[in-house]
Every structure is written in structure tokens, then in C-alpha cells.
Amino acid sequence: MTIAPVRPVPPAGQEVPGASAPGRRRQGPLDARLVREVGAARRHILRTTALGLVQAAAIIVTALVLARIGADLLTSGALPTAHPGALALLAGALAVRALAVLLEQRTAHRAATDAIADLRSRLVSHAARLGPRAAAGRGADLTALATTGIEKLRPYLVGYVPQLLLTATVTPLCLLTIAALDLPSAIIAAITLPLVPIFMILIGRLTVGRSERLLADTRTLWSQMLDLVEGLPTLRALGREKGPEGMIRSLGERHRASTMGTLRYAFLSSMVLELLGTLCVALVAVSIGMRLVYGHMELAPAIAVLVLVPEVYLPLRQVGAQFHASADGLAATTAAFEILEEPADSDGRIPCPPLEGATLLLQGVSVLSRDGWAPHETDAEILPGRITALAGASGAGKTTAVQVLLGVLAPTRGRAALAPAGGAPAIDVSDLERASFWEQISYLPQRPVLPPGTLREVLTSAAPDGTGLEALESAAAVTGLDQVIAQRGWDADLGRAGTGLSLGERQRLALTRALLDPAPVVILDEPTAHLDGASEDRVLALLRSLRAQGRTVVLIAHRSRLLEAADAIIELRPGVSDQEEDR
């Protein structure tokens, strides 16, 4: 069963999920939820920490060997070739460091890809479990977050996190080595080292909320663009295709201004941190130079300290340079986990009994909507092997009633139940395992959801294994799809959602898939939408074919011919909410 997503435009003034809000608790530089719940990110952090320790050891060995070689060269004139063992050790240390950096960068990109895929999969799955009401008003916004929004994690995991872990490994180990070689230099470095995070905080205060606003702007732009593209056929039919261009232009300008502002702050922070790091290293170098002049320090430890001091500040400077990647990544992570933390209805534990011969029930079902109850106090008995039509005015809650029947929407009042064949007690739909329930239902929404592929592949994917070409041709003849196949051929390529076919041809293709699907229950939402009168006759023939096969058909219909083909008609009516009655 496939449920089509809904992408309404977010109402004016409605907060975008995941956008910055006053009083929101700020996450630390390393999001604990990401480490705890995303295995790829956790493994990436452990691996990067180990590689950071290897780099720290290589840096210290390099500094000590260079100090010995340099001191001998300057004091006694001994060439570096006079120390072949030291040169080999130096080459080995440099090779180990280069290999550790290369391995860290390669694994970081792979880990980022795996973490993004994991988080995106969980986000999409959880959004589906939340149901259509939870996604109402933010369908395109969720799409934007699951695509471009989650990609903000890549620079965060590839650039910022490794530098943060190097700060926790290389910086303290190099500082301890400096203290062992020259305590005054270590004291100067320890005093000046906090200046880097202090300036990072000061710069960060200038960018509070900027990354969240940039992410929200991007998602808003995506939402508006997706809705505009989907509505272009309607706008063009009404002669309004020129209207929204001004709004799109203003949204694009807003996004450009927000992005350029973020880049300006990024360049500013990088310049300040580079200047600060240079001054801090200069303080240590001046101190060492003065003591060398007056003979208060030996040359070998002085060289080693001068090699190690820049390495103390480098990870912190890189953390500051990668700060905006951190902010963008944390903003995307926060937005994703806000959705993942929304409570969803738990899956049932009762395996669904066979739906052949089972009766579907709606008992006193009422669903509270923005405008009242829709549907209101609905009782329905959908008998097996018959065509049951849900009728009523627009807004009466016909599609909502089907969502309740499928278990994707919990009713405000009443319940949906399944009465198995043989007189067994009725079971609440919410108590059924969704997978075992949905796999016995074929659902065709008003806007068909079709996989990409050739015509043959799209039909075969809905049919039982081993279905031959003759069965496909027979089903296509019932729905009128045989005319499309005759024109385009079985191997005609289709894009996502049937791109390449007209709306009417997509509807025929979806109806053929419903006919080929062996599910005992078929739900059709306005199956004659986008079809002409001749095609409507074929839909009526399809309904008769489904009934002849003994399958239960639930039909959402407005047209009189469809209602006449039904064995039973259930009229749905909206109701006034209690608040409206009080008014």
C-alpha cells in the first residue's frame, strides 16, 4: 500500500519545524543525540579519536627529531646525513602522519554519507509513521529537510568534528611535551590558548541564529518551489502562471542575502583566528629567542618547542574556521531530531488475519479538524466481496475516514475495527501489525504514486511473481492502458510518479496496477479523476471485474455513475466542533 504525501503551503506565521525559536536549548559542539543514535557518526568519532592520537605521536616525534638534527647542524656543523637513523625516524613519522590524515579524510566522507543516509531514512520513515495530520502544512518542508537540509551534516562531520577531536588529542599532548621541554613556554601557551575559544565565542554571538535562519529560508524556498511546480498546470489553465514569479524572486533574494551574510561572518572569523594564532605563537617565539640570546635555554629544546607550539593552536584555529559548518550541521541535526522525537502511534502486535471474507468497520468515528468534525459520528460496515462507496460533499471527511480505516490516522472519537471471517471477535485496527495489514490492501489515491521504470516493469512490480505477459495485456485491456502500450511500447521509460505520461494515462496505469495486485481489499479514491467519459466506462468495467474476483472495494466517489455501481453507499457528513457550538 502506498500513501501519497501532501504538500500544502505552510500558513502565514506558522513556525517552520526546526527553525530557531526563542528559549530553545542549545546543543553542545558535538550533538550527543547524533553520537548516541547514529552508528556511523559514533564509529567516525571513535576512529577519528584514534587517528588523532596517532597524529599527535607523529608530531611529537617529528619535533624531537628535527630538534636534534637542527641543533647538531647549528652547533657543530654536522650534516643531517650524519644521522641516518634520525632521518629514517623523521621520514617514518611524517609518513605516518600523512597516512593518518589521508585515512581520516577518506573515512570521514564515507562516514558522513552513511550517517546522512541513516538519518534521512529514519526521518522519512518516522514522518510516515506520524501520519498525514502530523505532516499537514509542512509536507514540502519535510522534503527540503530530508534532502538539502540533512546534507548540511557533511561539512560538519568531515570538517568540524575531526578538528574538534584533534583539539582534544593533539593540543593537550603537544602542550604536555612542551611543558616537559620548557615550562615557561608551556605556561605562555596555556595562558594564551583560551584566547582562541574566547574570540570564537565573541564571533559566535554575532552569528546567533543565523544558521537556523539560513536553514529555515532554504526549506521555505523549497516548500514554495515544490508547490509552485506541482501547481503549474492548474495555474496555466487559469492564466495565472505569471503571478508567482515575484514571490519566487523575493524568496531567492532573501536566501542569497542570508547566505552571503553567513559567508561574510565566516571570512571574518577565519581572519581573526589566524591573526590571533600568529600572535600567540610569536609570544612564545620571542620568549625563546630572548632566553637563547642570554644563554638561559639550550638550542635543541628551543627548536622542538618552536615546532610544537603552532601545532598546539592549529586544531583550535581550525575549529573556529569550521564553526559555521558546525552551526549548519547542528541546525540540521536539531531540526531532524525534533521530528524524530515527536511521538508516533506504536505499531500493533496482533498479526492481521486474512482479509478475504473479513468485514471492515467504522464505529462512531469522528475526527476533529480545523473547521470542525470531518467525518462526524460515522458508522460504516464494509462487507466482503462488495463495492462500498463513501459519498458526501467536499470536506465531509471521506479521505479522512479511509485514513482511519487504514490505521494511519487515529480517530478523535470512535474506532476502526476488523471483523475476521467465521464470526471471530472484532479487532481494533490500531492493534494490528501494520505491515501484515497493509500488505493485504491495494490503495489508489487521487494522485497515483508510481515507481520509475518501463511500462512492463511498473506493471510487473504490482503483480504476483510469475505473472506472464498475457495476464498483463488482459489487465491493460480492462483499463484502456492497452492503447498507451500500443503507442509507446512495453519498454517505454517512465520517470518518478509516471513522468512521461499524461494525467489520464497515469490514472489508467495506476488502475491496471490495482487490478494486477492480488490484495483482497482495494481502496479507490476518485478513480475517474482525469479521465474522460469513455475511460470512465472502463473504470466501471474494472469495478465489476474486481467484484467478480470476490475482492472488497472501497470507493470514494462524487460522480453519480460510480455511486450507481456501488452495492452500498455510506453518506458522510461534517459536524460542528464543541468550540463552535459554544460561540
Identity of residue 342 = E
Mean pLDDT, residues 392-399: 83
Mean pLDDT, residues 364-373: 82
Unique residue bearing C-alpha cell 611543558: 179
Q: Which residues contact 425 (CB under 8 A, 6 or more apart)?
A: 419
Unique residue bearing C-alpha cell 488475519: 353
pLDDT score, position 196:
79
DSSP conformational letter for 241? T
Write the pLDDT tens digit of every residue in 95-125.
999 999 999 988 998 998 998 888 888 888 8
pLDDT over 70 (residue 583):
no
pLDDT score, position 206:
63
Average pLDDT value over all residues in the chain: 80
pLDDT score, position 8:
34
Dist. CA 269–CA 36, nearest whole Å = 30
Of the ranges 23-32, 55-64, 344-353, 532-541, the best mean pLDDT one: 55-64
Q: Are strands 493-494 and 453-454 parallel, antiparallel or unpaired?
A: antiparallel
Q: Are 382 and 360 in contact (CB under 8 A)?
A: yes
Dist. CA 421–CA 416, nearest whole Å = 16
Dist. CA 457–CA 436, nearest whole Å = 24
Annotated domain spans of the chain: 32-340, 359-578
Dist. CA 57–CA 54, nearest whole Å = 5
Write the pLDDT tens digit of every residue in 431-451.
888 888 888 898 888 777 788
Distance of CA 504 to the CA centre of its chain: 32
Mean pLDDT, residues 63-88: 87
CATH T-level assignment (fold) for domain 359-578: Rossmann fold (3.40.50)
Q: Are strands 441-444 and 521-525 parallel, antiparallel or unpaired?
A: parallel
Dist. CA 566–CA 256, nearest whole Å = 55
Q: Do domains 32-340 and 359-578 have the same CATH topology?
A: no
Check residues 520 and 408 and name the one with the higher pLDDT. Answer: 520
pLDDT over 70 (residue 379):
yes
Check residues 328 and 387 and name the one with the higher pLDDT. Answer: 387
pLDDT over 70 (residue 94):
yes
The least confident of 157-161, 247-251, 285-289 is: 247-251
pLDDT score, position 218:
67
pLDDT score, position 47:
92
Q: Give the total residue count for the chain.
A: 583
Helices (H), 294-353: 299-321, 323-340
Write the pLDDT tens digit of every residue in 114-173.
988 888 888 888 877 776 655 555 555 677 777 777 888 888 888 888 888 999 899 999
Question: Residue 339 is placed in which grid cell?
Answer: 521530528
Mean pLDDT, residues 268-286: 82
250 pLDDT tier (thresholds 50, 70, 90): confident
89 pLDDT tier (thresholds 50, 70, 90): very high
Write the pLDDT tens digit of every residue in 12-69.
333 333 443 434 445 567 778 888 888 888 899 999 999 999 999 999 999 999 998 9
CATH T-level assignment (fold) for domain 32-340: ABC transporter transmembrane region fold (1.20.1560)
Question: Residue 83 is placed in which grid cell?
Answer: 644521522
pLDDT score, position 216:
67
**Burial annotation 20-32 (CB, 10 A radius, 16+ → b, else e):** beeeeeebeebbe
Identity of residue 335 = A
Dist. CA 309–CA 312, nearest whole Å = 5
The least confident of 143-152, 392-401, 426-435, 528-537 is: 528-537
Question: Residue 15 is placed in which grid cell?
Answer: 513556525
**Around Cβ 331, how many Cβ atoms within 10 Å?**
25
457 pLDDT tier (thresholds 50, 70, 90): confident
Dihedral through CA 449, CA 451, CA 454, CA 455, nearest 10? -30
